[in-house]
A and B are shown apart, each in its own frame.
Chain A
Amino acid sequence: MPEVTYRDALRSTLHEALSGDDRYFMMGEDIGAYGGSYSVTKGFLEEFGHERIRDAPIAESVIVGAGVGAAMGGLRPIVELMTINFSFLAFDQIINTASKVFYMSNGQINVPIVIRMASGGGSQLGAQHSHSLEGWYAHVPGLKVCVPGDPYDAKGLLRTALKDNNPVIFIEHTALYAKKGDVPDEYYDVPFGKLDIEREGTDVTLIGYGGSVSQVLQAADLLSEQGVSAECLDLRTLRPLDVDGIVGSVKKTNRVVIVEDDWRFGGFGGELSSIIQEQAFDYLDAPVQRVCGADVPMPYNKNLEAAALPQPEDIVDAVMAIR
């Protein structure tokens, strides 16, 4: 299978949609002349022109709002918000318009929009530019939330997102764009709500999504050196969530560590932990553990930033504490 970067997996999928159906078009800041702040859309402007690759003003609310309106009008907009940090400026449009049109209109109007954004810290971008708030979007009924952790899923989930008739929040991770992985040439997609068992194991279940998947896998390597067999789950989508997949694994291993970049207190890990104890209470041999980002605004300094993010060693420690 060809090795492809996460970035290229995204790009080729967008390209496929834009080429195949002229209801698709893109809007966002610097997606055209600049080529996309993470270079995902490089060359698109030249190929598809200004009407389909729309460089937008720095005005996140209308970027999303116009996307929602266009979707209501029958188009299939693909909106890029650069990073999740800027999505807060479009927050009302996402959580109070996009997600509610279908329900409020009693199913008369659907909103087939894909809203892409990059998430995650780790590049010393400081407190205002390093959020990982996937969990907030996952909280909102009416939205679907994708968090691909590798190139295969990036392509497969994006294909599914582009065909979906609901608003899909598609969250890419900044640290992954250059990451390579196997991506088949043949057509495939990745359904929503089906997690990926990245590695099977028997002693403990490690759960990650988006950026934390690679931490989980690294931790699993370290653990196997110490004779611990970790089952690694990549959630792929947070909403819908593959509850059966999670619970099934926990019933097998009886121990769980959840890993996420986001702040611990009040984060999505709490939901995962709750679901597990609700549905597998009698199977748990130890409390569900969470390894999360530190509850502080992200510091700029490199060492402090590393300390604020979950590292493979922290995961190993958490596992050892419940052995």
Chain B
Amino acid sequence: MSAPDLPHAPAARQRPPLRPNLVIGGAIVLFLFSVALLSLVWTPLPPTKMQIVMKLKAPLEKGLFGTDHLGRDIASMLMAGAWNSLSIAVSAVLLGAAAGTALGVTAAARRGLFEAISMRANDVIFAFPPVLSAMMLGALLGTGRGTAIIAIAVFMVPVFARITAGAAAQVWARDYVLAAMSAGKGRALITVEHVLPNIANQIIVQVAIQLGLAILTEAGLSFLGLGMAPPAPTWGRMLADSQTYLGTAPWLALMPGLAIALTVFGFNMLGDGLRDLLDPREKGRS
């Protein structure tokens, strides 16, 4: 069935109804970003303030989510952690997406040797399991926010490069690109005017999904002690610190774990919702 799904008359395109996953995902992500931003100006207690005498208090006994082994308020740490985790994830994904997309669209536009070499280079980068490359980067650059961002961005590059190269190649096969070429437009211009706008949807969807992955990776890095420097709280380090208290103070592990899960869940839902919203292929089907 080729034609029948398409409108036959200049009918205004109907806005598809908001899908539950878009609403849920959007709400979660919005909530998290608000919390993260709020943490910059307000947290119930300073997230780094220690009250050793108040250590390891259960949720609601002291603060909303209790206190950690140094008597810090977990709720406040989670809030500040939201900012740290999100800011790392967002910068890393944006960086990776920008570099990967640039590589991908260039490969699609140039084809030939450039494509072969850049895609092979992708394979090379992709061959390093992310934690391994993060470990090496950490050893190389020292740990911290910058390293975490770079380490995550590095393995995002091939992901985005592959996706955009594939999507861009499809756009390049379109007649409107031929039309632009016959209008004497160069490959760079066509990439900017036609290719990028037409693959933007796929990139946006992928960004949402990769953000979830980046949060997970950041947590893993922090868990291994390769994340941001203390005292800045991150969810991954909170998890790592909580390990030995699992038996005695399980909320220490539960809270950051749930925060991570909620965030990744939110981003994935958002990604799904965006895909439904933006990808016309899914729409015709039911």
Partners in one complex: no
* Chain B residues near A (Cβ < 8 Å): none
